Structures are given as C-alpha cells and as structure tokens.
C-alpha cells in the first residue's frame, strides 16, 4: 500500500524547523543585542565622560585664574575671552561671558544659541559651575557654565555676577560613538548568520527522527505491525524510538495472539460442522424410512420417531448454515456469477418455494444483472421467508434500479411486510448471528443464521442490505442494493 500524503506531510509555515530556527535566531539576536547595547553604553560614557571631565576641569581652572582682575568693559573682556578660547581642552571652544546686560564672546556673535536657559540658571546658582550636553542641528556640543567667584574668607566664595560659558563641539567623540554602533552591528549580524547553522543542524537532528516516527506510525496504522524504527544515540528522541519499538512489538504480539485465537475458533466451528455433516448425511437419507414406518408403530414410538426425523432435518439445515458462515469467515466463499434477468430470478425463487400466492411481486421486466443466482436466491428467500414468519401479510417484493453514490448502477431489491415492524432496539442487531429479538423465544423456525447469511451473501456481491421500518412505523422493510455489473467479463 502506498503511504497517503496526509495533511501532516505538507511543509507548514510554523513547523518545528521554522520554530527552532526562529528560536535560535531570537536567542542569538537578544544576546548579541544586549552585549552590544551594554558595551556601547559603557564605551560611550567612557569616551564622553573623559572628554567632558577634561573640558570642565580645564575651563574651571581658566576661570579661576581670572581672579579679580576682570575688565569690566566689553572689549577688554573680549580679549580675555579670546585668551581663554585659545586654551580649550581637549578641543577648541568658544567662550561667552555674561555680566548683567553685558554680553561678550570669543566668537563673532556675542551670545551662543546652544546655551540653554536651564544651564544659565544652574551656572548662576552653583559656584562650581555646571555643564550640559546639547545636540543642535545634529552636532553634539558640550556647554559649560562657570560663575566667576572671589574668595571671601577661608571657606567662603562669593559670586562676582560674571558668568562664563564655554561651548565645545564634540564631533570627534560623536564619531567615536558612531564607530562603536557600527562595530556592534557588524559584529552582531555575522553572529546571527552563524547562529543559523547550528539552528538548522539542531532542527535536522530533531526532525529526522520525528519524520521516521511519523512514517512508522503511518505504516503501523496501515496494518504493517512489524514496522520498527532504528534507534540511534541516547537522547530523548532515541528513547522515544525505543519506546515506539517496544510498544509496536507488544501490539504485534497481542494482535497475533488474537488472530491466532480467532483462527482457532473459526477452524473449530468449521471442523465441528464438518464432522457433524457426515453422520447427518446418513441420517438424513433414512428419515424417509422413519416417516413412512411411523404409521405402523405404537403412538409413543411413532411420536419419538417423527421427532427424530423432523429434528434431523433441522439439524441438517443448521449445520449447512454453519458451514456457510464459516466459509464466509474463512473468506473461502466463492461467487459464481452469471448475467441473469433479475425479475425472472426472483419469480423463480417465489415459485420454487410456492410463495407466489402469498407474496405480492412488483418486478419490472428487462433488468439484467450479473450475480450468483444461488446466492441471490438465498438472499431473497431468507428475506421473504423472514417477512412471512415474523412480519404480516401482505408481503411485497419490489425490484428497481438506482444510481449509487459513485455513479455505479445498482440493483435494488425491497422486501416489505405489513407486520408491527421491528422494535428500534432490535434494529442494530437484526443481522447478528443467532440474535433472538425476544429472549423468551427459544427457537425460531430457521437456523437463526438466515439474516447473517443474507448479509454475507450481499457483501460478497459488493452490495449492502439494511433493515428499517416503513412509513408510520408500519411493517419492516429490508433493502438490498447490489451493483448490476452488466457487461463485465464472465467470472
């Protein structure tokens, strides 16, 4: 049998492989990202911190050196500022001074647009000065505000009211930080790419055993119970494979035992019927002698003799039915088909059993079907016989053709009676062997195998038989559907 391609075999968008690869990449990205971010932050702070510490310290020193000799006129002040501007560390800076309304600077413009009011405020209030990093038009600046103070005692300083500001471009530091970002990114991307390789390898090593397991399970499901998986290594998947193999072995053993037990039971039933048949053949040949002689015997002996004769006949029917059933069970039943006129076949069944005046037949002419005439006779006879025994008159046999679900032409035979119908609890068991609808009823006229044999015969023809109750629950209706198979080669 070919393995069917089931839904599971498709490549799923979020299958195990995709999820494993995504998980690996995610872990790699997070660790690379975190490392890069932490490194970046520390490095950036180190670079910027060093630069601004140097700048603030050197600016404070410059301002302190001014002392009290600060010129009060803007031009003089400007000279001083230019002098300070030349000593900018670590980069050149512009220096601005504010005193009351006086504004002076080492640059062309007397005031700078980079200095924020916030810095102005804190620079005035804090005698040690204050600084701020500002980004203007994409250029980073360090701005430092430093009040000029004079010593008013041992531990006291007084502000002079003059505040000096330094503005320094931090382009170099910015370039250094940007280089750090690029380095972090360039390091992380190949890392991610390299992480793909172990991800795919891991996915493969997981998926291969999973695929093998799936194939093996499918194969088991289709009946090959000797399917086993090669268990490699000692990981959890190998354990799973070994467990699968052990379970498969146990399943195979128990199925095997069941099959053997079933075969034994069937063989036994077949052997018993076989052994019964030989003595019955002899007995059945002489029942006539008993029947004829019974008249001349005394009444008790005559009754006993007639009983033996009658029961021998029933026993022969039962044994024949048992043999028939065991042939079906052993799949040894043969279908000897011939193309026949369906109406004629049913009519002959009714005539042969002298049922024509008790059964209404609705048999359209001209329906030809390929079937086993003997087995079809058994089917119709069992159904009509059943209807006459358990149902009520009138019994009707109807014949028609229909199209099956897959378009095959079907021969439909319907046997309906006018009795009380079949109780709903009996319906599912009506074709069971030896099923007794009424537990109190000890034995019916038939062998108790009639409907079971009917079912098997219909199945052998590739057909179905079902039992139901007619409209308004009046009367049982048995419907047999068999393929017409007209025009097929002679079997």
Partner 1 sequence: MPRVLLIEDDPSVREGVELGLRRRGHEVRTASTGEAGLAALREFRPDLLLLDLMLPGMNGVQVCRKVRDDSQLPIIMLTARGDDFDVVIGLEAGADDYIVKPARTEVIEARIRAVLRRIEEPGSGRPVVEFHGELAVDRAGLTVAKNGERLALAPSEMKLLLHLTSAPEQVFSRQQLLEHVWEHSYHGDARLVDACVRRLRNKIEDTPGSPRYIQTLRGFGYRFGPL
Total residue count of the chain as it appears in this document: 491
**Minimum distance of partner 1 from residue 454's CB (angstroms):** 15
Which CB atom, from 17 or from 370, has the smaller least distance to partner 1?
370
d(CA 203, CA 21): 7
For residue 161, give every residue at least 6 positions away whose Cβ sits within 8 Å of its Cβ, in sequence order, or none. 99, 100
CB 378: neighbour CB atoms within 10 A?
A: 20
Q: How far apart are CA 51 and CA 332, in angstroms?
A: 101
- Side-chain half-sphere CA neighbours of 83 within 13 A: 11
- Whole-angstrom Cα distance, residue 201 to residue 191? 16
Q: Which of 29, 225, 340, 437 binds partner 1 (CB under 8 A)?
A: 340
Distance in angstroms (rounded) separating the CA atoms of residues 287 and 482:
39
Contact pick of 42, 235, 262, 334 for partner 1 (by CB under 8 A): 334
Residue of 132, 252, 320, 432 that binds partner 1 (CB under 8 A): 320
Residue partners of 7: CB distance under 8 A and separation at least 6: none
Least Å from the CB of residue 466 to partner 1? 24
Contact predicate 84/106, CB 8 Å: yes
Kindly identify the residues of this chain, within the stretch 273-302, that bind partner 1 according to CB under 8 A: 274, 277-289, 292
State the nearest-atom distance from the C-beta of 296 to partner 1, in Å: 14
Which residue in 413, 403, 421, 411 sits closest to 361, CA to CA? 413
Give the whole-angstrom CA distance, residue 87 versus residue 51: 15
Beta bridge partner(s), residue 397: 361, 415
Residues 257-276 that bind partner 1 (CB under 8 A): 274
Q: Which long-range contacts (CB under 8 A, 24 or more apart) does 175-183 make?
A: 176/47, 177/40, 177/43, 177/44, 177/47, 177/48, 180/39, 180/40, 180/43, 180/44, 181/40
Out of 62, 106, 345, 396, the residue judged to bind partner 1 by CB under 8 A: 345
Among 339, 385, 433, 444, the residue binding partner 1 under the rule CB under 8 A is 339
**Which of 98, 321, 324, 456 forms a contact with partner 1 (CB under 8 A)?**
324
Binding test (CB under 8 A) with partner 1, winner from 87, 215, 368, 429: 368
Tell me: does residue 401 bind partner 1 (CB under 8 A). Answer: no
Residue from 348, 429, 433, 436 binding partner 1 (CB under 8 A): 348
Q: Is 376 in the site for partner 1 (CB under 8 A)?
A: yes
Out of 232, 352, 389, 443, the only residue in the binding site for partner 1 (CB under 8 A) is 352
User: Closer CB to partner 1, residue 256 or residue 292?
Assistant: 292
> With respect to partner 1, which residue has the nearer C-beta, 56 or 350?
350
Query: Which run of H or E residues covers position 416?
Result: strand 409-416
Could you tell me how many residues of this chain bind partner 1 (CB under 8 A)? Answer: 43
- Angle (nearest 5°) at CA 139 between 138 and 141: 135
Whether the Cβ atoms of residue 33 and residue 188 lie closer than 8 Å to each other:
yes
Nearer to partner 1, 51 or 290 (CB): 290
Q: Residue 108 or 490: which CB sits closer to partner 1? A: 490
Identify the CA nearest to 417 among candidates 436, 443, 389, 444. Answer: 389
Span of 89-97, 144-152, 256-264, 319-327 interacting with partner 1 by CB under 8 A:
319-327
Count of CB atoms situated within 10 Å of the CB of 473? 11
374 touches partner 1 (CB under 8 A): yes
Instruction: Supply the minimum distance, in Å, between the C-beta of residue 455 and partner 1.
Output: 19
**Residue 489 CB, nearest approach to partner 1 (Å):** 8
Q: What DSSP designation does 471 have?
A: G
The residue (of 79 and 334) whose beta carbon lies closer to partner 1 is: 334
- Tell me which residues touch partner 1 (CB under 8 A): 274, 277-289, 292, 313, 316, 319-320, 323-324, 327, 332, 334, 336, 338-341, 344-345, 348-349, 352, 368, 370, 373-374, 376-377, 486-487, 490
């Amino acid at each position: 049998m070919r393995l069917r391609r089931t839904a599971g075999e498709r490549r799923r968008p979020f299958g195990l492989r995709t999820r494993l690869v995504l998980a690996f990449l995610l872990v790699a990205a997070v660790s690379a990202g975190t490392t890069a971010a932490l490194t970046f932050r520390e490095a950036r702070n180190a670079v910027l911190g060093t630069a601004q510490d140097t700048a603030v310290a050197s600016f404070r020193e410059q301002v302190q050196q001014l002392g009290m000799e600060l010129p009060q006129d803007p031009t003089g002040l400007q000279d001083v500022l230019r002098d300070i501007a030349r000593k900018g560390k670590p980069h050149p800076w512009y220096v601005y001074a504010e005193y009351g309304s006086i504004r002076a600077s080492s640059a062309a413009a007397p005031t700078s647009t980079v200095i924020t009011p916030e810095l102005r405020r804190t620079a005035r209030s804090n005698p040690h000065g204050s600084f701020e990093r500002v980004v203007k038009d994409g250029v980073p600046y360090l701005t430092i505000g430093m009040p000029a103070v004079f010593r008013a005692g041992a531990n006291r300083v007084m502000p002079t009211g003059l505040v000096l500001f330094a503005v320094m471009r931090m382009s170099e530091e910015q370039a250094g930080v940007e280089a750090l970002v690029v380095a972090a990114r360039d390091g992380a991307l190949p890392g991610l790419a390299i992480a793909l390789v172990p991800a795919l390898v891991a996915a493969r090593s997981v998926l291969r055993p999973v695929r093998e397991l799936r194939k093996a399970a499918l194969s088991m499901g289709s009946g090959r119970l000797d399917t086993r998986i090669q268990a490699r290594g000692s990981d959890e998947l190998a354990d799973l494979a070994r467990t699968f193999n052990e379970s498969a072995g146990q399943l195979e053993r128990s199925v095997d035992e069941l099959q053997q037990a079933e075969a034994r039971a069937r063989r036994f039933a077949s052997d018993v019927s076989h052994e019964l048949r030989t003595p019955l053949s002899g007995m059945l040949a002489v029942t006539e002698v008993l029947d004829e002689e019974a008249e001349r015997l005394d009444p008790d002996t005559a009754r006993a003799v007639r009983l033996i004769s009658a029961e021998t006949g029933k026993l022969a029917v039962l044994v024949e039915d048992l043999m028939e059933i065991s042939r079906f069970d052993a799949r040894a039943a043969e279908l000897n088909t011939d193309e026949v006129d369906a109406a004629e076949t049913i009519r002959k069944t009714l005539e042969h059993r002298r049922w024509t005046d008790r059964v209404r037949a609705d048999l359209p002419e001209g329906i030809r079907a390929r079937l086993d005439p003997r087995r079809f006779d058994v089917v119709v006879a069992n159904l009509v016989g059943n209807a006459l025994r358990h149902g009520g008159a009138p019994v009707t046999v109807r014949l028609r053709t229909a199209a099956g679900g897959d378009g095959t032409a079907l021969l439909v035979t319907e046997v309906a009676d006018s009795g009380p119908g079949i109780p709903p609890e009996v319906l599912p068991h009506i074709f069971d062997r030896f099923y007794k609808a009424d537990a109190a009823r000890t034995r019916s006229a038939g062998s108790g195998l009639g409907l079971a044999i009917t079912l098997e015969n219909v199945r052998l023809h590739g057909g179905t038989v079902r039992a139901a109750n007619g409209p308004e629950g009046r009367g049982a209706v048995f419907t047999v559907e068999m393929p017409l198979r007209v025009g097929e080669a002679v079997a």
